[in-house]
Amino acid sequence: MKPIPVRRIAPTSNQQPTPGRISVRDLSVVLNGNELKHQLHKHDFYFILGIEHGAGFHEIDFTRYEIEGTAVFILRPGQVHQLQLSADSKGYLLEFDPSFYQPANPGTEQRWGKATGKNHCRPDGPGIQRLVSFLSQIFQEYEEKRDGYLDAINAYLDLFFIEYLRQSRNEGPRPAAASTYTQDRYEDFCRLLEENIKEVKNVSQYAGMLNLSAYQLNAITKSSVGKTAGDLINEQIVLEAKRCLLATPNQIKEIAWDLGFEDPSYFIRFFRKHTGDSPDSFRKNVK
């Protein structure tokens, strides 16, 4: 099969010089009365989809989310996804380069990191209205391009991410043992996994990065999601392997080496153990 296509933000005729490219669109205009079907692809930019009303599904990194009414999605560059939306869907689609949004302080940067670590949120009624309102304001600023519009967009993004995290935390009961500190450390661990999985696969190494013991890190992950740190490391390896298998035409042995496996046959056994499929079969069967 062909490698996963990589989409980039298309330049527009009225695009003005900015620290990074940005695109904001009204979803009803994008759909233009037609159902949307995007096959598996990935981006080199951040992608925010706020759905005030709609139906369909969104599959992100091989996890499928059904869309029934309201939903908000945030994708990081490099994540693979496919999307299907009904013709009557309403909301906004926001895309921007990594260089566009620059958090102004450590607190805002931490909030940004947490928000981008949560791909999906299904807000309540007032919550989706607040989130869509921020996206609507961003859309208006983008369309009118008055003095200071870039600063205004960044300010609305700050507010959007605050509300997005509030709504994410309201989605379901958190395990009693998962305090705010525990949840924060768990999210820090998840970010480190994505950034370092090709080079680092040992629980004690990640624990050291977080100034924790391996025992403490395992307690945090078990309290947060009911899994050991080792389980999450293995899941991240499999996810990265799937991305590589679909995003590149490289041979299995080359992908194994890129993921830090010195023995390609061990990589094949590892992949089969955790997916029930060989890397080659997975690559051929995914459409």
**203-241 pLDDT, tens per residue?**
999 999 999 999 999 999 998 889 999 999 999 999 999
Residue written as tokens 């994008």? 30
- pLDDT digit string, tens, across residues 66-84: 999 999 999 998 888 999 9
The upper half-sphere exposure of residue 178, i.e. CA atoms within 13 Å in the direction of its Cβ, equals: 18
Read off φ and ψ for residue 36, nearest 5 degrees. -100, 130
SS3 125: helix
Task: Say how many Å lie between the first and final Cα of the chain, rounded.
Answer: 8
CA distance 254 to 249: 10
Mean pLDDT of the chain: 88
CA distance 152 to 173: 34
What's the pLDDT score for residue 141? 96
| Model confidence pTM above 0.85 | no
Please answer whether residues 106 and 86 qualify as being in contact, where contact means their C-beta atoms are separated by less than 8 angstroms: no
Could you tell me what percentage of the chain is helix, strand and coil, using 3-state DSSP and rounding each to the nearest 5?
50, 20, 35
Read off the tokens for 189. Answer: 């661990």
Does 149 have pLDDT greater than 70?
yes
Max CA pair span of the chain: 59
Sorted by where each starts, the structural domains of the chain and their CATH numbers stand as 16-169 (2.60.120.280), 181-188+195-285 (1.10.10.60)
- pLDDT digit string, tens, across residues 44-73: 899 999 999 999 999 999 899 999 999 999
- β partners of residue 58: 65, 83
Confidence band (pLDDT; 50, 70, 90) for 175? very low
What's the pLDDT score for residue 14? 54
Going by the DSSP 8-state scheme, the letter that residue 32 receives in this structure is T
